[in-house]
Amino acid sequence: SKNCQIQLALKALKQDPKLSLRHAAAIYKISQSTLSDQYAGQPSRVSFIANLQNLDDDKERVVIQYIRKLDARGFAPTLSYVREMANQLL
Task: Compute the distance between CA of residue 72 and CA of residue 65 in angstroms, rounded to an integer.
Answer: 10
**22 vs 38: which has the higher pLDDT:** 22
**45 vs 2: which has the higher pLDDT:** 2
pLDDT of 9: 93
Quickly count: other Cβ atoms within 10 Å of residue 9's Cβ.
Answer: 25
User: What is the pLDDT confidence band of residue 24, given thresholds at 50, 70 and 90?
Assistant: very high
List pLDDT tens digits, range 43-73.
666 666 666 667 788 888 888 898 889 888 9
Furthest-apart CA atoms within the chain: distance in Å:
48
What CA dihedral angle connects 14, 16, 22 and 26, to 10 degrees?
-100
- Could you please report the per-residue DSSP string of 2-33? HHHHHHHHHHHHHH-TT--HHHHHHHTT--HH
The pTM of this model reads 0.50
